[in-house]
Chain A
Amino acid sequence: MSKRKGIFVSCNEAALCCDKSQYKEASLAEKIRLNIHLIFCKACRLYSSRNSRLTWLLKHIETEELSEDDKRIMKQNLEKQMSD
C-alpha cells in the first residue's frame, strides 16, 4: 500500500477502513481518512453505523462455541471409540 494517499479516499477504501476499525486494526491515518470521508458521504455513514451495530450485536451474544479443551476431549473420546 502506498504511503502517499490523499485525505480523500474512495468509498471502497473507506469501507475497508471501517471494517478494520471494527476490529481495532485501523491505523491512525486510516481512521482519520475514514472520518473525513464520513463527513461528506451519506452512504458510508449508513454503512458505518450498521457496521458498528453489527459489532455491538455480536459482542452481546453468549459465545456458544465449544472451547478448544472441550473439543480435544471429544476428539479423544471419539478416537477411543474408533480404536475399539
Chain B
Amino acid sequence: MPTNVIDPNTWIDKYSNYLFNYTIGRVNNREIAQDLVQETFFAGLKSMKNFKGEASERTWLVAILKRKIIDHYRKSNSKKGKAEVRMQQIGDTETEGDWLEEKVADPFELNAESEIENKELGKAIYQCLDKLPEKHADIFRLKTIQGFDTEAICNEYNITASNLWVIIHRARTAMASCLENNWFK
C-alpha cells in the first residue's frame, strides 16, 4: 500500500516553481530551465507506474529532474567543439581597433559582480524558504515575492488577517536568522 499518492493534475501548481528554481540554479537559463521542468513532468507522467510511494512526490520529481539536467549537460558538452572554433576567430582579428582600449574593462563589468551576487542571494533565499514549514513558505512567497493582497491570500487559505500576520511574522523572523550569517553584515 503506497503511503504517498501521485496526482499529476496538481504537479504544476505545487512543484513547478520549486523545480524551476532548482533547475535555474544549475543551468542558469530561464528557457532551458523551463524546458527541463516540462520534460520532467512528462517523464514523471510516463513512469508513474514505477512510483512506489516510498518517497514524496516532490523528491521523486527532483530525482527525475536531476537526470534531465545531467542529460542536458551531456548534450551541450558534445557541442563544445564549435565554441572553440569561434574563440579562435576572435583571436585572429588583430586588425580592428586599439587593443588597449578593447582590453580595458567596460563599465558593464561593474554589474557583473552584483549580478552574480543577486543569483547567490536568490539561491540563499530559496534555500531558507525551503526550511520553513510548507504553508508558511507558500504564504510568505505569495505575499512578499509575488506581492499578492492580504485579502486574496486570506481567502485562498481560509485564514483571518491576524492569522496571516502571525505567519508572516514567523516567516520573516526565520528568514532573517537564516540569511543572517551571509547577508546581514
Contact = CB atoms under 8 A, between A and B. Distances in A.
A57 B183 contact: yes
Interface of A: 15-16, 19-20, 22-23, 25, 50-51, 53-55, 57-58, 60-66, 70-71, 74-75, 77-78, 81-82
Given A53-B176, A74-B41, 10 more contacts: A19-B165, A61-B118, A64-B20, A66-B16, A75-B12, A77-B42, A78-B8, A78-B11, A81-B42, A81-B45
B145 A58 contact: yes
Nearest to A12: B169
Nearest to B121: A61
A25 B176 CA distance: 20
Place the interface of chain B in its size category.
35 or more
Interface of B: 8, 11-13, 16-17, 20-21, 24, 30, 34, 37-38, 41-42, 45, 118-119, 121-122, 125, 143-146, 150, 165, 168-169, 172, 175-176, 179, 183-184
A19 B145 contact: no
A-B pairs, top 5 by smallest CB distance, nearest first, are A61-B122, A50-B176, A75-B12, A54-B176, A66-B20
